[in-house]
Amino acid sequence: MNPSDLLNALFWLFLIFTFLSPYLQRQALEAARTRQILALEKRRGSRVITLIHRQEAISLLGIPVVRYIDVDDSEEVLRAIRLTDPQVPIDLVLHTPGGLVLAAEQIALALLRHPAKVTVFVPHYAMSGGTLIALAADEIVMDENAVLGPVDPQIGEYPAASLLALLQTKPVDKIEDATLIKADIAAKAMRQVAEVAEKLLAKHMDPERARTTARLLSQGTWTHDYPITVEEARGLGLPVSTAMPREVYALMELYPQTQMRRPSVQYVPMPYSRRGP
């Protein structure tokens, strides 16, 4: 083989490897996730479902995509629940900033109807619609530093509660028609979310406390990104524990953030004792 043919062969091998490498890496990652899920299922005798939203690089260009709870998620979770015997417990690993209210409500109500025990694991955060889903669980297992969040609806870029507050601070004739329409939608959204939250909370507490807690979570008491800690969640009457299985942490490590930007946090990834590594 002459040098020109050798260079051409090397070029095509490099090109094929470049195209196949992301696919092979993805397949290896999916296989590792499946093994970790099976390990957790074996330990707990349950069906494990993950709802994990992180930026992940896709395609050959490595474009980062931010994920939220959507109807595709609800379809998949509902299908997983249908494939689970009524007597088999469900463990849901939840890591999400929230998303579409419709999808979150579908998932939450489906979990509420499952006869066997439902456990939601929150290793880092489950905000907004994620919290709504967590309310359906018999037990919410949180890392000691994990947080939940308010479930107050957002109308476009504005909190529903703030749109209603605007009606109390300005004369109606000074408010644009579009804003008045948004405020009307906001009132309906807040009422609907409060009703769903109350239904979910009635699983854990008496009806009066469920109503009060549902209003606290859904009526704009805090900003939408307010972190509800383990202590606060327990104070609200939620069935929270911090007995997080190590398999959940191991599973989360298999959902890395995109590498498109230089990491801002670095450390030696191994446990340290008081005497050092």
In a domain, 271, yes or no: no
Could you tell me if 174 and 181 are in contact, meaning their C-beta atoms sit under 8 angstroms apart?
Answer: no
- Supply 62's token pair: 């490595």
3-state SS, residue 267: coil
**What distance in Å separates the CA atoms of residue 204 and residue 57, rounded to the nearest whole number?**
40
Q: Percentage of the chain surpassing pLDDT 90? A: 69
Q: Tell which residue, 137, 126, 144, 133, has the closest CA to residue 225.
A: 126
Residue 62 clears pLDDT 60, i.e. is over it: no
**What distance in Å separates the CA atoms of residue 204 and residue 88, rounded to the nearest whole number?**
21
3-state SS, residue 125: strand
240 and 209 together in one domain: no
48 and 163 together in one domain: no
Residue 181 clears pLDDT 50, i.e. is over it: yes
**What distance in Å separates the CA atoms of residue 89 and residue 40, rounded to the nearest whole number?**
12
Could you tell me if 66 and 96 are in contact, meaning their C-beta atoms sit under 8 angstroms apart?
Answer: no
105 and 137 together in one domain: yes
204 and 247 together in one domain: no
95 and 139 together in one domain: yes
- Supply 199's token pair: 């239904």
194 and 76 together in one domain: no
Residue 117 clears pLDDT 70, i.e. is over it: yes
Residue 17 clears pLDDT 70, i.e. is over it: no
Report the amino acid identity of residue 266.
Q
Number of domains in the chain: 2
| pTM for the structure as a whole | 0.84
66 and 108 together in one domain: yes
Which is it for the CA torsion 83, 86, 91, 97, positive or negative? positive
101 and 132 together in one domain: yes
Full domain range(s) for residue 112: 27-149+227-259
139 and 42 together in one domain: yes
